[in-house]
Structure 1
Amino acid sequence: MGSLPETPIDFNLHPRVNSDDPVPPRPRPASRPHLLKDDADAIRVATELAAELARDAALRDREGLLPLREVDLYSQSGIWSINVPREYGGPGLSYATLARVIGIVASGDPAVAQIAQNHIAILGLIGIDATDEEKRQIFGWALDGLRFGNAFSEFGGKTVVDFQTRVVFEGDEAVVNGEKFYTTGALLSHIVPIVAIGDDGVYLVFTDRETPGLTITNNWSSFGQRTTASGSVRAIDVRVPKARAVKLQDVTEVPTVQGPISQIIQAAIDAGIARNAIDETIRFVTTQSRPWVDSGKDKAGEDPYTIAAIGDLKIRLHAAEALLEIAGRAIDRGLAEPTRENVSDATIKTAEAKVLTTQIAIDATNRLFELGGTRSTLAQHALDRHWRNARTHTLHDPVRWKFYHVGNFYLNGIDPPRHAWN
């Protein structure tokens, strides 16, 4: 994986999150990204990238700096096309490897890792729903290094699936009108795929970032995952060629692994947050913390309760990572043979992984302070970002419903629902 030249950060010029200052479209890449060769290459690239992202992660979080250089480095790494099928020129690596790679990247900076989430999930969706011609075009964009943002969820509506954004077709054009929120990555993307309702179903409309009528607002104000380049998208009479509107299958009627693909990426990010938090806990306890007076020990790391707590966190992290791999293999089977049984199996195994990654992310980031002691809360250490990131990202969908669907499947033989949040 190549690297980008070091440039000092000019805080007066660098775009920040939740700012009224416009962020112009990002330049398209001058060269094609690295093409991942195999699992080992993907893991090597992710490990190098994570180390690079970790260097200024605390600074970006504290100052609310959008990760311009880091996203360019990320998308040129080849990871953004990890699931492009081999028959279309991509690496076609397994979803087990994808989950491991995303977890590694997220251990460096989960906010930057999340920026690729929708891009990668969209490529999985295209592999399932698109025609051969559409696949060649869209996979080709990804292999050329173009980044897809996200214009999926909406702020209003009775539920998350109550979409108001519409698309109509006039001659050879698709015309989109609507408003989106939680648009992770759209701000720094080259292409913004918009989910819109047509007269005959749901479409994914691929819109260039600079298309007239498309406005992207940098108004993501969450206390965690601050630098994900999220915000809102407004489309007013946005016109694109009709060929860029991909008709999506009704997943309630046709079994596909679309939901598990989206979910396993989310779960992998949480696993990465947990891994980083546990590593930070170990580092802090062994270099900064004092032993408790009642322990009779000379070092904080010799405290038997602290030792046991680290053991508990590591065991649960490894269990979560193991379930991620199991879920990834199940997704691969469901992708190859999308039967109802295989899709339900992938959905349930991914839900199980999501439960464990959520729990370990929240617990690990909380226990960091318990084991590190009061001094671990000092601003100079910037450790609060781990808890804020975990608490924010794990709210993507309610884990309490995972328990219900998993239990209902095993106890009553009821297949889990199929949608992007399950």
Structure 2
Amino acid sequence: MTTSAPSDAALYARFAEVFKHIGEGALAREQNRELASDAVRQLKDSGFTALRVPREYGGSGVSLPQYFRLLTRLGEADSNLPQIIRAHSGFIEQRLESDDAAARDRWLGRIAKGETIGAATSERIGSTHNSVTVISDKDPAYVLLNGEKYYSTGTLYSEWINVAAHDTQSDLHVLVRSDAPGVARHDDWDGFGQRLTASGTTRFDNVRVPADQILSRYKASEPRRNSLLTAFYQTVHLATLAGIARAVLRDGVEFVQGRTRTFGVAGQSSPRDNPLVHRVVGRLGSLAYSAEALVEAVAAALERVHQARITDAVTTADYVAVDIQAYQAQQIVLEQVLEAATLLFEVGGASATSEARRLDRHWRNARVIASHNPAIQREAAVGNYHLNGTAPNERFSLAHSPADNVAKTHGSSGHAVTQNDEFAGTGR
């Protein structure tokens, strides 16, 4: 595959206006719970959603570090956007990892033209089985899809939905047109943050799907092959959090520079000249720098393993190491960005809590992102690795397994509750 890509400077220039426009509408969208359809359309039209697609398919072929730098800037403009395209981004990485050339040709070409993929893979808490079923249609060229998924992030904005389902033989992933008859998408996500990600319910009622849109089949008993996807998905969250830290610093500086009063003493001191305010803003700057530096380090590690895979020089230890690195970064970035989003209010007292400003959205969004993946479970996995050499999810990792799969949890039906490595570690 072609690996040459534009320079960072060229990429920043290319997307500067896109980020600016998205950022200018972020507060109004938050205030009105207005879905980010226009912003997503800009990402598609500008080629942002095809950044990782190789040039021979019509994309930009950027490296993983370049992609995560741009994703951080997008998160600074509006943290809903990186999450909206998170499953789509992982779908591209899965195609890049796969040996299925026909699937790469079919789907990467579509993505290069601006089509995106949402996910319908997760069940509501309390569900014990994969509720979406696939049965044969009277025409053997088609199957019928029935059931419901929640946490279907990005699906409202996408042309395609990657659905985790099962039939009488196995679990599978099937790609469904989002506008197909029988597909219903609902914006009923009720989290207090990341409100515009449309992470709600998707229902399938006798949806007729061409059988050649079954992307993969797998059995819950089969081992998961080595993959970068878990670390990749986590790094998307980390880049989004780093973007929030940048937005916190930006909004803190703008707030202080526009003020003429400090700590209730009107007209006698400028906040921007107050050494206490200097300390707060200095801390915000340091936290943003640290978060971004950790994302950069993990992205570089991902790129090294990605390149080693291309040259067939990758080992199981390489995959384990990058997972551990992503998990370790997670522990620090979460705490630092939540600290920054709280510390922001120290620059302005009660006036900073005005709902007109919605500065609380940074904390709310960071807190919701921090809740998607099990940070405490992964912290324990890191400790177990250092103490005992136990790799995360070791019983699911095989170096040379041909399977594109593993389901991590099983219900009474025997079908997977959670997804295979098509969406390993997605959270939502």
* TM-score normalised by L of structure 2: 0.82
Task: State the SS of the aligned residue for 1:278.
Answer: helix
Q: Distance in 1 between matches of 2:39 and 2:260?
A: 32
Instruction: Compare 198-207 and 132-141 and name the one that shifted more.
Output: 198-207
Tell me the amino acid that sits aligned with residue 327 of structure 1: V
Q: Which runs of 5+ in 1 are unaligned?
A: 1-34
Q: Distance in 2 between matches of 1:293 and 1:110?
A: 33
Residue 420 (1) aligns with residue 425 (2): yes
Instruction: Compare 367-376 and 80-89 and name the one that shifted more.
Output: 80-89
Structure number with the bigger relative contact order (C-alpha 8 A, sep ≥ 6) is 2
In the superposition, relative to structure 1, how do residues 209 and 344 fare at CA in structure 2: closer, same or farther (>3 Å)?
Answer: same
From 297, 306, 316, give the equivalent of 1:326: 297
* Correspondences of 1:39-118 after superposition (within 5 Å): 39-118=8-87
Correspondence for 1:138: 107
From 317, 321, 339, give the equivalent of 1:345: 321
In the superposition, relative to structure 1, how do residues 77 and 163 fare at CA in structure 2: closer, same or farther (>3 Å)?
Answer: same
The question of whether the paired residues in 1 share the 8 Å contact of 2:87 and 2:426 is answered with no
Q: Which runs of 5+ in 2 are unaligned?
A: 397-423
In the superposition, relative to structure 1, how do residues 168 and 341 fare at CA in structure 2: closer, same or farther (>3 Å)?
Answer: farther
Task: State the SS of the aligned residue for 1:150.
Answer: strand
Correspondence for 2:383: 407
Shift of 1:201: 4.3
The question of whether the paired residues in 1 share the 8 Å contact of 2:161 and 2:176 is answered with yes
Tell me the amino acid that sits aligned with residue 166 of structure 1: T
Q: What is the RMSD computed on CA atoms of the aligned residues?
A: 2.6
The question of whether the paired residues in 2 share the 8 Å contact of 1:129 and 1:248 is answered with no
Correspondence for 1:163: 130
* Correspondences of 1:21-40 after superposition (within 5 Å): 37-40=6-9
In the superposition, relative to structure 1, how do residues 169 and 348 fare at CA in structure 2: closer, same or farther (>3 Å)?
Answer: farther
Q: Distance in 2 between matches of 1:200 and 1:131?
A: 22
Task: State the SS of the aligned residue for 1:97.
Answer: helix
Between the two proteins, the alignment pairs up a number of residues equal to 385
Shift of 1:121: 1.2
Q: Distance in 1 between matches of 2:181 and 2:262?
A: 61
Task: State the SS of the aligned residue for 2:148.
Answer: strand
Instruction: Compare 303-312 and 404-413 and name the one that shifted more.
Output: 303-312
Q: Distance in 2 between matches of 1:326 and 1:137?
A: 33
Shift of 1:246: 1.1
Q: Alpha-carbon deviations, 1:168-199, whole Å to 9, x = none? A: 45533233222111112211211111122345
Task: State the SS of the aligned residue for 2:227.
Answer: coil
The question of whether the paired residues in 1 share the 8 Å contact of 2:151 and 2:200 is answered with yes
Q: What is the percent sequence identity of the aligned residues?
A: 28
Shift of 1:36: 7.3
Residue 387 (1) aligns with residue 356 (2): no
Task: State the SS of the aligned residue for 1:342.
Answer: helix
Tell me the amino acid that sits aligned with residue 47 of structure 1: A
The question of whether the paired residues in 1 share the 8 Å contact of 2:47 and 2:59 is answered with no
The question of whether the paired residues in 2 share the 8 Å contact of 1:130 and 1:248 is answered with no
From 231, 254, 258, give the equivalent of 2:225: 254
Correspondence for 2:151: 182
The question of whether the paired residues in 2 share the 8 Å contact of 1:154 and 1:180 is answered with yes
Shift of 1:104: 0.1
In the superposition, relative to structure 1, how do residues 312 and 405 fare at CA in structure 2: closer, same or farther (>3 Å)?
Answer: farther
Q: Distance in 1 between matches of 2:365 and 2:260?
A: 23
Shift of 1:158: 5.3
Residue 123 (1) aligns with residue 92 (2): yes
Tell me the amino acid that sits aligned with residue 280 of structure 2: A
Correspondence for 1:27: none
Q: Distance in 1 between matches of 2:18 and 2:264?
A: 41
The question of whether the paired residues in 1 share the 8 Å contact of 2:241 and 2:337 is answered with yes
Q: Distance in 2 between matches of 1:236 and 1:287?
A: 54
Q: Distance in 2 between matches of 1:145 and 1:168?
A: 31
Tell me the amino acid that sits aligned with residue 382 of structure 1: R
In the superposition, relative to structure 1, how do residues 252 and 349 fare at CA in structure 2: closer, same or farther (>3 Å)?
Answer: farther
* Correspondences of 1:285-300 after superposition (within 5 Å): 285-288=256-259, 290-292=261-263, 298-300=269-271
Residue 214 (1) aligns with residue 183 (2): yes
Tell me the amino acid that sits aligned with residue 165 of structure 1: V
